[in-house]
Chains A and B, each alone.
Chain A
């Protein structure tokens, strides 16, 4: 089942990219999607029927708005640190615990963290994320866990798990 879903998704993606509804184009697209889904199908989401639940898309749209806002804040923050003559940075790597369970959710969380203010995820080992932070605001694990993952975790839980 997940191979078929991945095949349909990649075919739609191909048609959007090429934007031509001719027979040769569709045949080439089907062959390319077939190869993709055969190789990468086993990494796709485990429970495909979750894709059919509308409330997940609703939370995804809300999440997108929050994400764009956080992303803008991130850029202004980095711009400020770069242009400031004294360069106010306190970099370091911190360890953050996440409550998310599935691999897909952890991936989305790590990618979101990479795009938010001054943080890049370095590694994920079991339930812990290692994060490089350009300005460590606090030494207390609970406080910085809340600052880094707080904005996203509850939405990602509703979208994916």
Chain B
């Protein structure tokens, strides 16, 4: 039973990781690519880690997987924030499809 649940979680995780990778290729500019890179990939990895927790139960590997989830969460959100702010300050323009830019006034 636990094996079944862990397989389902790991499958979902790999699927979301795949969607994130497709997003990185298909979306038009840096900012939108970061959207795919943070959300889909973080949920994918968290889902794989939950699968590992179900596979090993509350033993040492399972607890490590559980502890890794908040670390991954804070690392990926902070990393995305730093990357997107750095990209803007580096001078890369928003893509052609963009409709609004409130940040322009705040930077100057």
User: A-side interface residues toward B, CB under 8 Å?
Assistant: 13, 16-17, 19, 71-72, 74-75, 78-79, 81-83, 87, 89-95, 110-111, 114-115, 118, 120-123, 125, 128, 130, 132, 134, 136, 139
User: Which residues of chain B come closer than 8 Å to A74, judged between CB atoms?
Assistant: 39, 43
* Number of A-B residue pairs with CB-CB distance less than 8 Å in the complex they form: 118
Q: Is the interface of B mostly helix, strand, loop or mixed?
A: helix
The secondary-structure label for the interface of chain A is: mixed
Give the one of A16, A89, A91 with max B CB within 10 A: A91
Complex CA distance for A116 and B5, rounded to whole angstroms: 25
B22 within 8 A of A: yes
We find that the number of chain B residues with CB closer than 8 angstroms to chain A is 41
Interface residues of B in 49-102 (CB under 8 A from A): 60, 63-64, 67, 73-74, 77-78, 80-81, 84-85, 88, 94-95, 97-102
Nearest residue (CB) in B for A77 is B39
Question: Can you spell out 19 A-B residue pairs with CB atoms less than 8 angstroms apart?
Answer: A19-B64, A75-B19, A75-B39, A78-B35, A82-B19, A82-B26, A87-B26, A87-B28, A89-B27, A91-B29, A91-B32, A92-B100, A95-B102, A95-B106, A111-B77, A114-B38, A115-B73, A120-B80, A132-B84
